[in-house]
A = this chain, B = another copy of it.
Amino acid sequence: MSQNQILQSLIAENLVSDPTGARGRLLKEAARLFREKGYERTTVRDLAAAVGIQSGSLFHHFRTKEEILKAVMVETIRLNTALMQSAMEAADTPRDKLRALVRAELESINGQTGEAMAVLVFEWRSLSADSQAEVLELRDIYEALWLDVLGLLREQGALLAEPFVVRRMLTGALSWTVTWYRPERGGLTLDGLTDQVMAMLGFAATA
């Protein structure tokens, strides 16, 4: 299934908003602004202006500002969980599955959903405790994908460190790319970057 097909089916199931609709457009702009200026520094007036309405009109679509932040996070996780699952299923060996996961996460961080992913990392504390708990549940689903694959590699002896530690290190390392990786300037492509990550873990690049 292509990336776009996955997105379409999630929209059909009402799990993520159509980016061409009013709600979807707002969430996209919100992700951009939250990443650019941070959640706190982004005012409801900024958000409204970004989609061309009055600030008060926002509250017809969302009850609070925080609900917007939460929606950005929830929808991002839903989309990326689906993308990862699909990427992983397409690979055969544990090693290739790991590469697929790394590649997929790098893509979600540095591609279309990059702004929303950065928000997920950097604006976590701005969520209320209740919302944090809800979002965490969703995250667990796709963390399990990683741990399964890393566990297999560990059994094979291809990994010297503990799977749960490696996953957490990779979470940090891959998220952090958002602060420095610029594919447009400089020769490192997404596949090249994926190779570098695999090499760092001791897996030589495939031909």
Contact = CB atoms under 8 A, between A and B. Distances in A.
Interface residues of A, number: 33
B169 A125 contact: no
A196 B157 CA distance: 15
Interface string A173-205: 111110110000000100001001101111010
Contacts of A204: 160
A161 B102 CA distance: 15
Contact of A200 (B122, B160, B196): B160
A19 interface: no
Nearest to A123: B38
User: What is the copy number of this chain in the assembly?
Assistant: 2
A196 B165 contact: yes
A16 to B, nearest CB: 26
B177 A176 contact: no
Given A38-B125, A161-B200, A176 B168 contact: yes
A155 interface: no
B180 A176 contact: no
B199 A160 contact: yes
Contacts of A193: 165
A176 B171 contact: yes
Most buried by B among A41, A172, A188, A193: A172
B177 A168 contact: yes
Interface string A38-69: 10110000000000000000000000000000
Contacts of A6: none
Interface string A138-181: 00000000000000000000001110011011111111110110
Interface of A: 37-38, 40-41, 122, 125-126, 160-162, 165-166, 168-177, 179-180, 188, 193, 196-197, 199-202, 204
7 closest cross-chain pairs (CB), A and B: A172-B176, A40-B40, A160-B199, A169-B173, A202-B202, A161-B199, A173-B173
